[in-house]
């Protein structure tokens, strides 16, 4: 006989106390029926430059200054050797593939990405950088097609083509009314949040921070007179206090604050204790509601701390790495769409949905049941220490439990 559970509301936002007929009680997520809940779309690195740029309608000049490949079209050829022909001169919707249908299904209130490329016609590559990501401004439609609301720019590729490239990136995004965070015309601009107004629900404030641990050159730090990145110098208590002062000066009652951080290595599941402590302090002392971490090339563990989600590494979402060999055991072709639903009244997580996808031929596609299960098992193995797990649904979508 199936056991029924009786739900009793608790004082904790987004939670119910489930009591079975036998008297056993456990916490369960409360269904997100509240019309005031703010649902976010978050993902990791979106790199629309280099090889991806070459298949779009307005490709940049293919010359790049890298040790092994000097023509951006070489990355297209590598991907084609692995998975077959990639169409050329594609429209702006192509790269998003099945993600566009998923947006229609999930209906997020705000869409936030880490844009890991410059949008520029600049030919002044950063000397010695070794990697050159740029997308031609004529291809900006690939961001508007996905209705992106905010591009976080605090990363180690936004200035691959010099200071001029950052200025042009900011101007291009402003022209299509996409907000930015984490880089700016000066340090004040770089440190200011993107303010996203959610009609009838409130505001989402997105702050961007970039750490040298992700490969950002220190010279990219914005100053009073120079454009650049909002640098996260260290993970100290003093840094937390500085961040707290900034956040508290901007946050109003009912605001949801997202701290988007480009940090750490590209590979591996281990979360440094300093990162975890820093994320906790951002929540405890700085009023942050969502920690949105990126830089890793594959999804890393998820934690829910005092009702606030911490994504230690979202993994890449779009890139041209398809034919590059190495680290295959991490399955970097499997990418994730994150949909946390936040209660603006309490700032706490109400529900957290995830949708796995696969990157093939520079396009986001649905995953097989086998691949979805692999990703589910991997996340559960690595997130167990943080007290979270994901449950696979029949349609290969996932739900986070905590």
DSSP secondary structure string for all residues of 285-323: HH--SEEEEE--SS---EEEETTEEEES----SB-S-TT
Query: What's the pLDDT at 278?
Result: 98
Using a 10 angstrom Cβ sphere, with 0-12 exposed, 13-18 middle and 19 or more buried, the burial of residue 22 is: exposed
Consecutive H or E run containing 390? strand 389-392
Residues 105 and 144: their CA atoms lie apart, in Å, by 18
Q: Which helix (H) or strand (E) holds 196?
A: strand 194-198
pLDDT for the residue numbered 211 = 98
Of how many residues is the chain composed? 402
Interatomic CA distance for residues 294 and 210, integer angstroms: 10
Give 122-165 pLDDT, tens digit per residue. 999 999 999 999 999 999 999 999 999 999 999 999 999 999 99
Q: Are 239 and 283 in contact (CB under 8 A)?
A: no
Higher pLDDT, 12 or 221: 221
Higher pLDDT, 2 or 338: 338
List alpha helices for 314-368, DSSP H.
Answer: none
Instruction: For 225-275, write each residue's pLDDT tens digit.
Output: 999 999 999 999 999 999 999 999 999 999 999 999 999 999 999 999 999
pLDDT band at 34 (very low <50, low <70, confident <90, very high): low
For 236, other C-beta atoms within 10 Å of its C-beta total 12
Q: Does the structure show a pLDDT above 80 at 21?
A: no
- Using one digit for the tens of pLDDT, what is the confidence trace for 286-300? 999 999 999 999 999
Domains of the chain and any CATH numbers: 1-30 (no CATH), 38-401 (3.60.21.10)
């Amino acid at each position: 006989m199936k056991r029924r559970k009786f739900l009793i509301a608790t004082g904790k936002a987004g939670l119910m106390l489930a009591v079975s007929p036998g008297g056993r009680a456990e916490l369960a997520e409360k269904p997100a029926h509240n019309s005031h809940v703010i649902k976010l779309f978050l993902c990791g690195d979106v790199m629309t430059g280099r090889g991806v740029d070459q298949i779009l309608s307005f490709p940049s000049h293919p010359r790049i200054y890298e040790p092994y490949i000097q023509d951006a079209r070489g990355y297209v050829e590598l991907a084609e050797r692995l998975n077959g022909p990639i169409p050329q001169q594609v429209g702006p919707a192509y790269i998003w593939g099945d993600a566009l249908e998923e947006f229609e299904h999930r209906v997020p209130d705000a869409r936030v990405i880490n844009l890991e490329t410059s949008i520029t016609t600049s030919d002044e590559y950063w000397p010695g950088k070794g990697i050159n990501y740029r997308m031609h401004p004529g291809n900006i439609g690939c961001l508007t097609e996905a209705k992106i609301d905010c591009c976080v720019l605090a990363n180690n590729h936004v200035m691959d083509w010099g200071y001029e490239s950052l200025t042009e990136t900011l101007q291009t995004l402003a022209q299509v009314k996409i907000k930015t965070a984490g880089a700016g015309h000066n340090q004040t601009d770089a440190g200011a949040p993107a303010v996203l107004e959610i009609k009838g629900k409130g505001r989402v404030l997105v702050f961007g921070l970039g750490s040298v641990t992700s490969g950002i050159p220190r010279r990219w730090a914005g100053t009073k007179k120079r454009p650049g990145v909002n640098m996260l110098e260290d993970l100290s208590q003093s840094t937390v206090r500085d961040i707290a002062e900034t956040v508290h000066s901007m946050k109003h009652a009912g605001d949801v604050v997202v701290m988007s951080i480009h940090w750490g290595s590209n590979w591996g599941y281990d979360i440094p204790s300093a990162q975890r402590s820093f994320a906790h302090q951002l929540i405890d002392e700085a009023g942050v509601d969502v920690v949105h971490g990126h830089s890793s090339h594959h999804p890393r563990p998820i934690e829910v701390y005092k009702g606030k989600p911490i994504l230690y590494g979202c993994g890449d979402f779009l890139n041209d790495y398809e034919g590059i060999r190495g680290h295959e055991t991490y399955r970097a072709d499997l990418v994730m769409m994150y949909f946390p639903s936040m209660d603006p009244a309490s700032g706490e997580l109400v529900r957290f949905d995830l949708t796995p996808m696969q990157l093939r031929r520079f396009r986001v596609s649905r995953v097989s049941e086998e691949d979805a299960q692999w990703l589910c098992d991997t996340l559960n193995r690595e997130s167990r220490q943080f007290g979270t797990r994901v449950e696979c649904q029949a349609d290969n979508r996932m739900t986070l439990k905590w």
